[in-house]
Amino acid sequence: MKNLVGIDQKKAAALADKLNVLLADYQMFYQNLRGLHWNIKGKEFFELHVKFEEYYDEAVVKVDEIAERILTLEGEPLHTFSDYIAKSEIKEAKGITNGTEGVETIVQNFSVLILKEREILSLAADAEDEGTVSLMSDYISETEKTLWMLNSYLK
Read off the pTM: 0.96
Domain ranges, residue 108: 9-154
Domain membership flag for residue 105:
yes
Q: What is the mean pLDDT of residues 88-116?
A: 98
Is 3 a domain residue? no
pLDDT of residue 80: 97
Give the per-residue pLDDT at 125: 98
What per-residue confidence (pLDDT) applies to 29? Answer: 98
Q: What is the pLDDT of residues 18-28, one digit of tens each?
A: 999 999 999 99
Task: Please state, in angstroms and rounded to a whole number, the distance separating the CA atoms of residues 148 and 118.
Answer: 17
For residue 63, give Cα distances in angstroms to 97, 114, 139.
25, 15, 12
**Total structural domains in the chain?**
1
Predicted local distance difference test score (pLDDT) of residue 134: 98
Task: Give whole-number Cα distances, 106 to 39, 45, 80, in Å.
Answer: 14, 15, 23
Cα 47 to Cα 3: distance, rounded to the nearest angstrom: 47
Predicted confidence at residue 120, as pLDDT, reads 98
Is 122 part of any domain? yes
